[in-house]
């Protein structure tokens, strides 16, 4: 079995991968995440997931390298991590009462064979109508300033939603585990 490397510095992706009970290491890839002109959200996330995996090939030449990326489009513009309370308030206000699609990509690269498997996993989030008081209460409690969309689905962010639609709720956190399991099985990894 080839050792596994997660091409990410995200603690959220690490925590998700830990759920599979497989040993792995992680490393931050150096990748320019700027969108190309006319690039769709799905194409952007797929390109970035693949680029993140490829960025670690020289350091990890005989590994299974996992790259992942996520984009949320709001009014046609990619939403980034808010960073501040004010920016998070603006993001949640803009999401209120709307259905938004997250595009989470996954690439599993076998750096020994050069073969890779890739997928983009769409996931819809239907937000409740959120008033300013509810947004403030949520932000003060959870402080999700390092999360695109300004919520933590695995935490109290679930209270902001009316419905979730998609095949793998883990993709909303940043790593589609169901698809990853399929890919790992194809690579001969025995999962519990």
Q: Is the Cβ–Cβ distance between 138 and 159 less than 8 Å?
A: yes
Q: Mention every residue, 6+ apart, whose C-beta is less than 8 A from residue 189.
A: 1, 4, 22, 64
Active site residue 69: yes
Can you give the pLDDT at residue 192?
83
pLDDT tens-place string over residues 149-189: 899 988 999 999 999 999 999 999 999 999 999 999 999 99
| Within a domain: 43 | yes
Q: Is the Cβ–Cβ distance between 99 and 124 less than 8 Å?
A: yes
Q: Which domain holds residue 69?
A: 4-186
Structure tokens at 30: 């150096």
Q: Which of 178, 64, 154 is nearest to 115 (CA)?
A: 64
Q: Is the pTM of this model over 0.85?
A: yes
| Within a domain: 45 | yes
| Within a domain: 176 | yes
| Within a domain: 191 | no
| Within a domain: 149 | yes
- Going 36 to 41 to 47 to 49, the CA torsion angle's sign is positive
Identify the active-site residue in 32, 69, 168, 190.
69
| CATH number for position 116 | 3.90.950.10
pLDDT tens-place string over residues 27-75: 999 999 888 898 888 999 999 999 999 999 999 999 999 999 999 888 7
What total number of domains does the chain contain?
1
């Amino acid at each position: 079995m080839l050792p596994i490397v997660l091409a990410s510095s995200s603690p959220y992706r690490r925590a998700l991968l830990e759920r599979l009970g497989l040993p792995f290491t992680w490393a931050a890839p150096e990748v320019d995440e700027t969108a190309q002109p006319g690039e769709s959200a799905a194409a952007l996330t797929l390109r970035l997931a693949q680029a993140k995996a490829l960025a670690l090939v020289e350091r990890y030449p005989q590994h299974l390298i996992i790259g992942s990326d996520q984009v949320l489009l709001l009014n046609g513009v990619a939403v980034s991590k808010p960073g501040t309370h004010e920016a998070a308030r603006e993001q949640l206000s803009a999401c209120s009462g709307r259905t938004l699609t997250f595009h989470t990509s996954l690439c599993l690269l076998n750096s020994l064979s050069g073969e890779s498997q890739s997928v983009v996993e769409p996931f819809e989030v239907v937000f409740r109508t959120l008033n300013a008081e509810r947004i403030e209460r949520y932000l003060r409690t959870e402080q999700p300033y390092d999360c695109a969309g300004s919520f933590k689905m695995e935490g109290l962010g679930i209270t902001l939603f009316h419905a979730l639609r998609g095949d793998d709720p883990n993709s909303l956190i940043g790593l589609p585990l169901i698809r990853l399991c399929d890919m790992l099985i194809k690579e001969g990894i025995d999962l519990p």
